[in-house]
Structure 1
């Protein structure tokens, strides 16, 4: 278009900026420069497109710059900025912006709730959901949750180890039943995951059986729920049914089935499944899968981690924790004693963020 000397206008840029979101940041910034040079920077559709693009690339600085240049942001532009903050971990700014908005809709609330959930602030996500549900004023009106809201708050309930989360999750389930025409795949999967993690396996199975449409994520959730609640054999049977239904397992599926094998001490089956990841399904094992195999061998008494790196504190700590996890406290204490006698000190801990 440019080669034919046809000048782009305000209708041209939103689509091409959206396309750049799936390409690279350098192309996006060059389009930003084009927008400025051609005098269409203040078109609201272009501004929103640029805001979403910078958010997607994690360029929060430029996203803020674009937003600050908007004299009177509409709710769509506010929501795009909320999403930018939430996606890039600045949930404090997202929460502040939410409260300063002249009008808020379900997308506004859900962006911040999801941001809290994805960044590990599960209690704050639940608190904000409660605030949203209680709001009924001129500024906000009555806000009805959408699919993304339910998934985020159920995920927060599932991952928050506090009293009252089971009751909260059940209330959300009840609200869904009363107010939604149907339980979508993602809502159902979130409910299965929630009930599985809080130990209500019968409820997880009930939700699973009621679902007409099931995706891989749904099967993963029920397999994991079974594996983590003492139903290892049933988890493996469900895995077989998943394959019979023609669904291809993914990395998450194998974490669940390998966990089931480890807890049931099914060494041969577990190792066969581990080998099938790459050989049969073309999946490259990740650190989580190797960790499951280590757990599998350790629970069966077949691991000798200390022979690999005898002076590495992590091996002693890992092996001690594995033994303690299966109530072999004497062995765990002996490992710690050996570590102390060898004058091997534990290094300061580091954290690992698990992103979905």
Structure 2
């Protein structure tokens, strides 16, 4: 029994396999509608936009068989290629459509313009804008949205803003697209200005603005926006919003904020999927609570490669090399194939504890076992691994044999390793390379200066300082962050601007007095200044992490754990002082420096003095 043509058309939309779709199409053929424009158009549309293997090929066979194809068919074929990222083919279809006498409409242009969302396609996108104006669609909301998105994607934010400003009727998606264009170009201030002018906002608006702040290092501002979002109640945060907020918490080491977000997810019954789960794992790991990260990981029913990689990287940061490598093996046994990100975590784990042979094995296995070509990050891990182990010659061999040009981070890793080994000749070579690539890089000058100072070469130290002054290069100040009662406090080296600065310094002096009584002696070799011993001791006393710890001693009850995030590598003197503090005052002190975590407890450190 034959079914009606209307029923056949409805069946097309419900097909879940290509076979079902072909069967419905066969019914249309039997009804004599196979070459009818509407019926054929629906078949092409369903095939083109489906994920059926061979669906697009079948769409073309129907399209070519149609005696009178219409714009609807062309539009869906163009759209299908845009969704497949086959932008060249999409534009070829657009040109073919015009050559065959079909007039692009308000549905055609948005798809064609979306094929130009890259710098290399900018000229074609500009030409398309000319076509839009000629066709009279320059005020169509969908076409305008596509144009603003195209210019934003190409990094031409001025042209995007011009189209935006020339549009009299702007819908909410257009505002969001313009904000995203500013954010992508790094103009977060302009994005915020436009955001504040919006007549209405939705969750996409807030998420885009929060994510923009996170991507450009404005973590406090991201948390401020999130709290503003909750107060204004214009939109409810979704998984995307919360993932960005958790990322900001992780970067700041704001554990209390992160725990609050986790509780918010539970309160509103949001499902912790792989996206939120991965974000929570990363946040807890970066905030120093690796146990909570493991708890979230174990509680996830579904894990993808990024979830495994986040847990592996977290364990590596905390120096849990055994657990990290065991998890890497378990990941493979469970059928999850590691990617480039996974191997960065594995190689970091080897580097943090000096597993040179193991690191080499994992590096070689990337290509040999998994077909992954090492990226510059992986070479950086190997340079770091050898440098930390004092094998700077081997590290230099890695650099010389790299198939890609070494960057600042590669040479910086070698330079940092020279500080440990005292290899001045290699340090001078590495610092020259860093400065060639980044003439204003203060770290290269400071590290080389520290190496000279450690060797007592004070004339060379003065020479470097003089060059820095002449070039206007300032040393990156040591900065430490502490979260207390939901507020993130910043401390800089030598800082006395805090409202309770006198109490902080008084507490710090008392702490150091107690430490000296149990044998602590300042490691003045760490001071790269030609001062007398008293001056060097004072310079060590006011390091940002020591001020942050003293603040916590003043502001929290005894035995309360302390968590600090520092922007630079922790120095040898502070490392020794914190080990002694943790035992003398029965305080767990967790420091995240620019390289890794240090958990100080009962007079020892989790890094086992290898960092």
TM-score, normalization: structure 1? 0.85
Displacement of 1:199 in angstroms is 1.0
Contact 1:305/1:319, CA 8 A, preserved across alignment: no
2:240 alignment partner in structure 1: 148
Structure with more strand by fraction: 2
Structure 2, unpaired ranges of 5+: 1-96, 400-410, 423-448, 477-611
1:185 alignment partner in structure 2: 274
The alpha-carbon distance between structure 1 residues 124 and 322, as it changes in their structure 2 partners (threshold 3 A), is: farther
Query: SS state of the match for residue 390, structure 2?
Result: coil
Mapping 1:144-293, distance limit 5 Å: 144-161=236-253, 165-293=254-382
**Structure 1 CA distance for aligned equivalents of residues 334 and 321 of structure 2:** 20
Pair 1:38-2:135 in alignment: yes
Pair 1:21-2:117 in alignment: yes
Contact 1:117/1:155, CA 8 A, preserved across alignment: yes
Displacement of 1:303 in angstroms is 2.5
After superposing the two structures, state which structure 1 stretch, 80-89 or 313-322, moved more.
313-322
Query: SS state of the match for residue 345, structure 1?
Result: helix
**Structure 2 CA distance for aligned equivalents of residues 268 and 226 of structure 1:** 20
Pair 1:109-2:228 in alignment: no
Contact 1:316/1:336, CA 8 A, preserved across alignment: no
Indicate the structure whose relative CO is greater, using CA pairs within 8 Å and at least 6 residues apart.
Answer: 1
The alpha-carbon distance between structure 1 residues 49 and 172, as it changes in their structure 2 partners (threshold 3 A), is: same
**Structure 1 CA distance for aligned equivalents of residues 114 and 412 of structure 2:** 46
- Over residues 36-64 of structure 1, what are the superposed CA-to-partner deviations in whole Å (9 max), with x where a residue is unaligned? 12111110110011111222222212111
1:318 alignment partner in structure 2: 416
**Structure 2 CA distance for aligned equivalents of residues 322 and 205 of structure 1:** 33
Displacement of 1:275 in angstroms is 1.5
**Structure 2 CA distance for aligned equivalents of residues 194 and 13 of structure 1:** 42
Pair 1:97-2:194 in alignment: yes
The alpha-carbon distance between structure 1 residues 307 and 252, as it changes in their structure 2 partners (threshold 3 A), is: closer
Displacement of 1:196 in angstroms is 0.5
Contact 2:392/2:418, CA 8 A, preserved across alignment: no
**Structure 2 CA distance for aligned equivalents of residues 339 and 89 of structure 1:** 44
**Structure 2 CA distance for aligned equivalents of residues 86 and 215 of structure 1:** 28
**Which of structures 1 and 2 has the bigger CA Rg?**
2
**Structure 2 CA distance for aligned equivalents of residues 341 and 307 of structure 1:** 27
1:354 alignment partner in structure 2: none
TM-score, normalization: structure 2? 0.51
**Structure 1 CA distance for aligned equivalents of residues 474 and 341 of structure 2:** 26
**Structure 1 CA distance for aligned equivalents of residues 102 and 247 of structure 2:** 50
**Structure 2 CA distance for aligned equivalents of residues 305 and 350 of structure 1:** 30
Displacement of 1:254 in angstroms is 1.2
**Structure 2 CA distance for aligned equivalents of residues 110 and 319 of structure 1:** 41
Displacement of 1:240 in angstroms is 1.2
Pair 1:6-2:6 in alignment: no
CA RMSD of aligned residues (A): 2.8
- Over residues 133-166 of structure 1, what are the superposed CA-to-partner deviations in whole Å (9 max), with x where a residue is unaligned? 1114xxx3xx2101110111110111115xxx11
**Structure 2 CA distance for aligned equivalents of residues 17 and 339 of structure 1:** 63
**Structure 1 CA distance for aligned equivalents of residues 166 and 475 of structure 2:** 39
1:329 alignment partner in structure 2: none
Q: Could you tell me which of 168, 171, 174 is aligned with 1:74?
A: 171
The alpha-carbon distance between structure 1 residues 92 and 214, as it changes in their structure 2 partners (threshold 3 A), is: same
